[in-house]
């Protein structure tokens, strides 16, 4: 696939095996987040093809474009992006609710998702009252909610306490999804990833 954003061009070929976890590393501005945004459908590619779980979602040559809401990805953003007007619980329940799950069922499973990242005690709290690490854990729970087949994680543990990271890594692994994990932390790559990809100026360096 290829994508151009101003002066910057991201050009790479990547295959992530189903259920596998690929870590993407590289310096700032090397295209890690852009890669995730293309996979999620938040950026349009200029050439090439993107398949998610065997389904073609983006192919400019064939005129194929699946919008983000129908790609079935869970995305944990680097800047978290919790909805300020909703409690932690309703943030996590948001995705399942959008996909048609009833309110009470969605909230019950959201509570379980929060519990999995040890945030069930803060279920009723608005994001503004959470610390950076707590918000990030809620953001991870929100991405994991509804068990999406593809997980895009952009530095999902960067602000969390070091002692909860093993738990969070276990949750990511337990999700059983195909994962693309952007990280600066070699420990994440080492303990979680099946394969490591290093990006440099929009291309695969190794």
Partner 1 sequence: MSIASPGVPDRAAGASGGEPAPRGPQGTAQRRRELRHRPVGGLWLPAGVALALLVVPTVGLLQRAPWSDLPSLLGSPRLRDALVLSAVTSAAAAGASVVLGMPLALALSRCGPSLRRVMRAAVLLPMVLPPVVGGTALLFALGRRGLVGLWLDRWFGWSLPFSTAGVVVAATFVAMPFFVVTAEAALRSADAGLVEAARTLGARRSVAFRRVTLPLITPSLTAGAALAWARALGEFGATITFAGNLQGRTQTLPLATFQALEAGRPGEAVAFSVILLAVSVAVLLALRDRWLSR
Per-position x/- string for 152-171, each x denoting binding to partner 1 as judged by CB under 8 A, each - no binding: x-------------------
Report the alpha-carbon distance of residue 29 to residue 93 in Å, rounded: 33
Number of residues located near partner 1, criterion CB under 8 A:
24
Instruction: Yes or no: say if 188 and 181 are a contact pair by the CB < 8 Å rule.
Output: yes
| 31 touching partner 1, by CB under 8 A | no
Please enumerate in sequence order all residues whose Cβ is within 8 A of that of 81, keeping only pairs 6 or more positions apart, or say none: 139
Instruction: Yes or no: say if 93 and 107 are a contact pair by the CB < 8 Å rule.
Output: yes
Binding residue for partner 1, selected from 6, 63, 67, 104, defined by CB under 8 A = 67
Handedness of CA 94, 100, 103, 104 (dihedral sign): negative
CB of 88 to partner 1, least distance (A): 14
CB of 22 to partner 1, least distance (A): 19
Binding residue for partner 1, selected from 8, 27, 29, 69, defined by CB under 8 A = 69
Q: What does the DSSP 8-state code read for residue 102?
A: -
| 26 touching partner 1, by CB under 8 A | no
What Å distances lie between residue 138 and 10, 59, 89, CA to CA? 30, 33, 8
Report the alpha-carbon distance of residue 150 to residue 53 in Å, rounded: 8
Stretch that binds partner 1, among 82-90, 109-117, 173-181, 192-200 (CB under 8 A): 82-90
Q: Which is closer to partner 1, CB of 63 or CB of 84? A: 84
Site residues for partner 1 per CB under 8 A:
40-42, 67-71, 73-75, 77, 79, 81, 83-85, 94-95, 98-99, 142, 146, 152
């Amino acid at each position: 696939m290829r994508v151009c954003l101003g002066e910057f061009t991201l050009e790479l070929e990547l295959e992530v095996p189903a259920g596998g976890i690929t870590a993407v590393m590289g310096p700032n501005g090397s295209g890690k987040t852009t890669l995730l945004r293309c996979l999620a459908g938040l950026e349009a590619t200029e050439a090439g093809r993107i398949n998610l779980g065997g389904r073609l979602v983006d192919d400019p040559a064939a005129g194929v474009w699946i919008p983000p809401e129908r790609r079935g990805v869970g995305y944990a953003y680097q800047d978290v992006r919790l909805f300020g007007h909703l409690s932690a619980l309703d943030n996590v329940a948001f995705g399942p609710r959008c996909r048609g799950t009833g309110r009470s069922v969605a909230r019950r499973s959201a509570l379980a998702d929060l519990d999995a990242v040890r945030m069930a005690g803060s279920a009723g709290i608005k994001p503004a009252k959470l610390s950076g690490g707590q918000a990030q854990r809620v953001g991870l729970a929100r991405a994991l909610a509804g068990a999406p087949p593809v997980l895009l994680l952009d530095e999902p543990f960067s602000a969390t306490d070091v002692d909860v990271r093993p738990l969070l890594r276990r949750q990511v692994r337990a999700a059983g999804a195909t994962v693309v994990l952007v990280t600066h932390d070699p420990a994440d790559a080492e303990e979680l990833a099946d394969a490591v990809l290093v990006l440099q100026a929009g291309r695969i360096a190794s």
